[in-house]
Amino acid sequence: MIPPLAGCAEAAEVCRVASGPALPGDAGGPADARIPGAIVPVLTGCGPITEIQFLPGSDTRAAVLAKDGRLWAVDLGSGSVRLALEVPVESRVEMGLLGIAFHPDFARNHRFWLSYNPAGDRLRSRIEEWSWDGVFPAGTPRAVRERFGLDQPWANHNGGQIAFGPDGMLYAAFGDGGALGDPRKSGQNLRTALGKINRLDPDGAPLENPLGERALPEIWAYGLRNPWKFTWAPDGRMVAADVGESAWEEVTFVEPGGNHGWNVREGAACFAPPTGCSREGMVEPIWTYGHDLGVSVTGGVVGSHPELGPLAGRYVFGDFGTGRIWAIALPESGATAEPVWVGRFPGGIATFGRDASGRVYVGNLREGTVGRLIAE
């Protein structure tokens, strides 16, 4: 999903508030299926951005993560931006500082979690609990303990997002471990956390998974190649984007205990075997698109702010390689949907964020920028 740092915005030294005219997207797309959008500059110089997360209940205070291990603490209300933390990371290929999750009661307990690939001799993913000692964005982050870890056989398909669900549990996405074609068959292997959406109790209590004793206790859903960003719809369903192999990108509802097909299927198409694969018991995608439209899907969010116009209430997502952004009116479970075209922007769209009032933000890894999406 994420390319190496070479050619990205790593030369930028200081993340700072930006301003300027809204950048409209390339018209493109069918005229009868278009809700045009524009991106208003918010931050620049932040390095290779991988994640934007607002504090629970806040419209202005957010953490912006960079692939190279930097955590920028931002207050858009006051214009304050400070480098709060630099985590030593392995940043080759798709590794780095990849995810942050604030406890739903962060204002009281100051707890948050980071997901990253620690620097060292082994390729590894780590989810670590931290404490923010002080009032965000000031204060000093302090590591508390490792909550979860697993070895990575290769440096790609790390996934890495973490987020709290409506049930108060911490969810973590990991790709299949890398290489091509899932050579270790991790997607369908219920004895590895690779190729899965995993669920963890933030306090370390054991959980029962939806799959029973045949699966590791943390596995919540399986058969995913590289789930790059997930969110929850207003009705509580999880929506994820799963990066494809060579032909198809996928947006899907993630079902508890659900098998999402990889590596038997890529999107809705057969992969191994290339024809005649069994679809029995597999979750069907909401939408898939071919590599004529894009090459690496970036999962999005559902916004609700009036500045989004008719985009409000739709799941907004994009493509890393082409900069295309679409929006889907999420269908009933088990149904497919066609998105509307929002626009084509500079490539490098690596993440979307949402503040407490439902504004939607777009983070660009190549340009090191954050912008706010509005209806044009």
pLDDT (average), residues 23-27: 93
The amino acid at 35 = I
**Phi, psi for residue 67 in degrees, rounded to 5:** -55, -30
pLDDT digits (tens, 9 = 90+) for 206-251: 998 999 999 999 999 999 999 999 999 999 999 999 999 999 999 9
**Minimal CA–CA distance to 1: which of 107, 159, 145?**
159
pLDDT digits (tens, 9 = 90+) for 100-128: 999 999 999 999 999 999 999 899 999 99
Above pLDDT 90, what percent of the chain? 93
Query: For residue 186, what pLDDT is reported?
Result: 98
C-alpha span between 205 and 208 (Å, rounded): 10
C-alpha span between 125 and 115 (Å, rounded): 7
Which residue shows structure tokens 């947006």? 251
Query: For residue 30, what pLDDT is reported?
Result: 80
pLDDT (average), residues 309-325: 98
Q: Are 335 and 328 in contact (CB under 8 A)?
A: no
Cα–Cα distances (Å) from 145 to 43, 113, 129, 202, in that order, read 31, 10, 5, 11
pLDDT score of 1 more than 80 = no
Which residues make Cβ contacts (< 8 Å) with residue 205, sequence separation at least 6?
A: none
Query: For residue 91, what pLDDT is reported?
Result: 96
pLDDT (average), residues 162-176: 98
**DSSP one-letter string for 177-198:** -SSSS-TT--TT-TTSSTTEEE
pLDDT score of 4 more than 80 = no
Structure tokens at 147: 């909550």
Residues linked to residue 52 through DSSP beta bridges, in sequence order: 64
Query: For residue 2, what pLDDT is reported?
Result: 45
pLDDT score of 9 more than 80 = no
Structure tokens at 168: 């108060």
pLDDT (average), residues 309-321: 98
Structure tokens at 193: 């956390």
pLDDT (average), residues 165-194: 97
Query: For residue 33, what pLDDT is reported?
Result: 93
pLDDT (average), residues 153-180: 97
Query: For residue 21, what pLDDT is reported?
Result: 95
C-alpha span between 275 and 273 (Å, rounded): 5
Q: What is the dihedral of CA 269, 271, 273, 274, to 10 degrees?
A: 60
**Phi, psi for residue 250 in degrees, rounded to 5:** -135, 140
pLDDT score of 50 more than 90 = yes
Query: For residue 8, what pLDDT is reported?
Result: 39
Q: Are 106 and 54 in contact (CB under 8 A)?
A: no
Q: Are 193 and 150 in contact (CB under 8 A)?
A: yes
Measured between alpha carbons, how far apart are the two ends of the chain, in Å?
29
pLDDT score of 7 more than 70 = no
Rg (CA), the chain: 19
What distance lies between CA 326 and its chain's CA centroid? Answer: 16
SS3 31: helix
> Which domains, ranges and CATH numbers included, belong to the chain?
16-375 (2.120.10.30)
pLDDT score of 297 more than 70 = yes
Query: For residue 10, what pLDDT is reported?
Result: 44
Which residues make Cβ contacts (< 8 Å) with residue 29, sequence separation at least 6?
A: 340, 341
Q: Are 355 and 62 in contact (CB under 8 A)?
A: yes
SS3 311: helix
